[in-house]
Amino acid sequence: METADLTHHISRRFNEDLERVRTKVLAMGGFVEQQIQKAITALLEGDSALGEAVAIADQQVNDMEVSIDEECSRILATRAPAAGDLRVIVAIIKTITDLERMGDEGEKIGYIASRLATMERPADKYREIKHLGRIVTEMVHESLDAFARMDADEALRVARQDRLVDEEYEAIQRQSITFMMEDPRTIRRALDVMWIVRSLERIGDHAKNISEYIIYMVYGKDVRHTSLDDVERALGQRGTAGGAGEAHQESGS
């Protein structure tokens, strides 16, 4: 009885540790999401002060990453998690790395937005960047939502959106090159725009990475270097097999 009580106590404490870390990851993700939105707003509204504030606040993202990383290291050392619990810790460590890199990209956008605010705004008011930014921020939000709910299906949908981000990115790059060729006076601004859309494209990549970690946490399958079509087929087969197994157990009982 004493052994059983001790095991229950250790399990309860571990679950509390894990839940605390997951809460911190979601807080970090929410802050990074806000940073990205503010950086885009700074560009669209020509708000130099906001762009600088976003860039300066990146240190908070770095501090969050270090804090969560230290907490994960403590859990690994003191709780010795195995199987699915170990997968969660590993995926969390990878996730906060991607969130920190998203923050770095937001910092870049903030700095560039601050500089562009001193220039005359283009007639289209960066319409293409606004559209791409909306897609990317939705990816970030939905990947965090999938993380909170451990929803592998939602994570797969988020990962699929990365293809659209790549297409938008390439289209804006081509357009910027055309502007520079037609009017050399636009070169400076066009280069800045290209850097911003590159950062947005990278943020989309990081959101996709987080989605892949969620699939790893839920199914124990590393899908980082697998086509999304193959991933969807594999997950569908797992679901079918699981349903068949449950049906077999019910009929057996």
Nearest CA to 207 out of 238, 167, 149, 163 is that of: 163
Tell the residue number behind the tokens 């990549």, with chain if given: 205
Mean pLDDT over each residue of the chain, to the nearest integer: 86
Would you say the pTM of this structure is higher than 0.75?
yes
The confidence score (pLDDT) of residue 103 equals: 97
Q: Give residue-wise pLDDT tens across range 153-185.
A: 999 999 999 999 999 999 999 999 998 999 888
Is a pLDDT exceeding 60 seen at residue 59? yes
The confidence score (pLDDT) of residue 140 equals: 98
Nearest CA to 199 out of 66, 43, 93 is that of: 43
CB of 182 closer than 8 Å to CB of 172: no
Cα angle 82, 84, 86; round to 5? 50
The confidence score (pLDDT) of residue 124 equals: 75
Domains of the chain and CATH, by start: 2-239 (1.20.58.220)
Q: Give residue-wise pLDDT tens across range 113-132.
A: 999 998 877 767 788 899 99
